[in-house]
Amino acid sequence: MTDNPSACHHCSEANSVRKHGKARSGIQRYYCSVCRKTFQVHYLYQGNEENILQQIKIGLNEGDSRIDISRKLGVELSVIDRHIYMLTMDTMA
């Protein structure tokens, strides 16, 4: 797995990403000149991973409780609650 992203995680624009220093954890950060957002390829905390929302959806569809999902993914309950709130706002729009 390479540490250099091929496209921006936010806008998926190719060839607009450049290095943007390092996080406190020492992990390389990147900056997209198109959407002007920063991101990392890898995160130490699982709540920041880009597929966390998909994993929460799967847990909810399987009938898991918020606490079970939190334990399974290794993230705080408040992170689960925030993502569930975002899911409900998406369905309302």
Please give the pLDDT value at position 3: 63
26 plus 60 within the same structural domain: no
34 plus 51 within the same structural domain: no
Give the residues of the chain that fall short of pLDDT 50. Answer: 1
Please give the pLDDT value at position 75: 82
38 plus 69 within the same structural domain: no
Domain residues for the domain of 55 are 46-92
Alpha carbons 56 and 46: distance in angstroms, whole number:
12
81 plus 54 within the same structural domain: yes
55 plus 25 within the same structural domain: no
Into how many domains does the chain fold? Answer: 2
51 plus 24 within the same structural domain: no
64 plus 39 within the same structural domain: no
2 plus 40 within the same structural domain: yes
40 plus 3 within the same structural domain: yes
pLDDT, one tens digit per residue, over 12-26 is 888 889 998 988 778
The 3 state secondary structure assigned to 1-53 is: CCCCCCECCCCCCECCEEEEEECCCCCEEEEECCCCCEEECCCCCHHHCCCHH
25 plus 63 within the same structural domain: no
Please give the pLDDT value at position 63: 93
